[in-house]
Structure formats: C-alpha cells, structure tokens
Structure 1
Amino acid sequence: MKYLIPVLAFILLHGCTSSANKENGEELFKTVMHIHDEAMAQMGEIQLLKKQLSDYSAKVLDGEVEAGQEVFKTIGQLQSKLEQADDMMMDWMHNFDTKWNEKAEQEGIAYLKQEEKRIREVKKAMDESIAAAQQFLQDSNQDHE
C-alpha cells in the first residue's frame, strides 16, 4: 500500500507529460504547416516573375527597351534565385514525413523542430528572390517610362 501512491503519482505524471508532448507536437505541426501554406501562396508569384523577367529580356533583345548587356546577367541571376526557391519548396514538400506523429514522441518533436527550421529557410529564400525580382522590374520600368 505504501508503494501504491508513488506508483499512481508516477503514472499520472507520465500520462500528463505524454499528453503535453503530443499537444506540443500538434502545435509544432500547425506552425510548420502555417509557414508552408504562406510559402505555397507565393508559388504563383514566382512563376509570374519568371515570366515577366523573360518578357523583359525579350524586349531588350528586340530593341524595344534600351539596356546594357549586364541586364542579361542580372536577369539570369534573378531567374536562377526564383528557380532555386521554387526547387527548395518542392524538395521540402517531397521530403516532409507526414507520418511524423508515428515516431516516438521526442523524436517526432525533434523532427518537427528541424522541419520548422527548414521551411523557414525555404520561405526566406522565396521572400528574398521575389523581392529582388520585383525591385529589378520596378526599377527597369521606371528607367524606361
């Protein structure tokens, strides 16, 4: 009988910790998916900017817009950054383990923390490449108005 109370206390505490870890895992998963959803919403913008950069390049080639040869290098770099961001997103989605919750609790939480870091890097690459392309196109349009 004197061991019953400590054993029950251990079981209750372990159960509470287990439940808290599960909730923590679910919250982490929601955070990861929220960042993913924000990044996915930018995929169309990436495609649009790649097309706008190609169109601008064609206008320079056709002589519709005056620009030096360095503009082609800049456009190529911007398109490459947009493509890299797109590829990072595709790779992240392809490699994300949707069965993270079948792992041991601590392993699942560690996995989600790692994935949160990775998807934040993807989002940052997308944000930066989009901003750079938009700035270039805006500056180019102002130069030729």
Structure 2
Amino acid sequence: MNNEKAADLKARFPNFYVEAILILPDGWHQIVEDLLAELNTINNEAPVRPEHYGVVDLWIRYWNSTATAFVTPRVDTWEPEQAVACLEAVARFNRETNRTCQLCGNAAVGRVKYMDPVIGKHPRADEILCQEHMQQRQQLERSMSPSSNSTH
C-alpha cells in the first residue's frame, strides 16, 4: 500500500495498525480501512479496564495475492457479542481480499496464475483482478509471449 494511504490508516487507527499493511495492494485500502474501523468500534464498546491495554491483537499475513487477518480478542474484557463481532469483521476482511481487485478495489473476476512464476530473480505473485485489469494483464502476457513475437 502506498505510504500516504498507510500513514492515514496509522494516524486514524493507531491501536490496530500493523506494519504488514504496507505490503498490501493499494486496491485493498477500503477493506483494510473497514476492518480497522470495525475493530476500533468494537474496542470502544469494551469495558475499560486499566489492566487490559489493547483489547485486540491483530496480525495480517500476505502471501501470493492472498491476505489473511488473525485476531486474538481479549474475551475476558468483552461481552460474547463483541468477541463474535470481532471474528466476523476478520472473516469479512479475509473473504473480501479474495473478491477485490488488488489494483483498483473493484469486484474481482478471478485470479491470474502465472505459468512462469519467476521473472529474472524475482517471483511473480498471483494477482486478483477485476475484469478491466484482467484483460490488461492478458493483453500484456500475449504481447510478451514468444509465439506472438515470432516472425515465422
């Protein structure tokens, strides 16, 4: 995620911001913001107890175009409904990362899996894309394929 968007999220949700947000695609900004806002709301509804700083521990793992959020709610400070709401927010985030274009945030139509997973020394990650970006990637791949560049 670009630094400006990440800095905005960090400023607005300091208790839930995790550095892994920096490696998430820009197109997922809204779903990350939604997750952090939901966790913030749930946290603000929890009873304040000085002995419990930080009601939720949040981790986000990003690997090969898939992000998964994990939370550990401090259920001893919450009503059961708050713990369930927390887990539902994370489940929603996890689903939406597989349904949202990584480039623009529109609804995704599928995942691009590259046949040649390595270009140079860098691996090519899969991409979750909307129709427009899927077509752009397909056109780019066709233009780069050896068969389309041959003069036979």
Please say whether Structure 1 and Structure 2 have the same fold, judged by a TM-score greater than 0.5: no
Report the structure number with the largest CA radius of gyration.
1
What range describes the TM-score normalised by the shorter chain of this pair? 0.3 to 0.5
| TM-score, normalised via structure 1 length | 0.33
User: Which one has the bigger helix percentage?
Assistant: 1
TM-score w.r.t. the length of structure 2 is 0.32
